[in-house]
Amino acid sequence: MDVTKHIRPPRAVFVPFMMGHLFGVPFHKKLQRCIILEALDLLVATDESGFIKELAVTWAEVRRQGKDI
């Protein structure tokens, strides 16, 4: 998050995931799709530059979900 804030993108979705796993875990199509749609939603919903949306899901939770797939 500190790096994301530092570079000041016009709009961003922040995910607390392991490096190299920006869109989640293998075969978790629902999550991968969700992250993309959250980013697309910002194109419509953002009012001013610098907005960062945090997804309140943990890496541990995502990994658990991935193991069930």
34 Cβ neighbours under 8 A, 6+ residues apart: none
User: Considering the rule CB under 8 A, would residue 44 count as an interface residue with other proteins?
Assistant: yes
Binding of residue 58 to other proteins (CB under 8 A): no
Among 16, 29, 59, 68, binds other proteins (CB under 8 A): 29
Of the candidates 16, 32, 60, 64, which one interacts with other proteins according to CB under 8 A?
32
Long-range contacts of 2-5 (CB under 8 A, 24+ apart): 4/52, 5/52
How many angstroms separate the CA atoms of 10 and 51, rounded?
7
Q: How far apart are CA 45 and CA 16, in angstroms?
A: 22
Least separation in angstroms between CB 30 and other proteins: 9
Binding interface with other proteins (CB under 8 A): 1-2, 4-11, 18-27, 29, 32-40, 43-44, 46-57
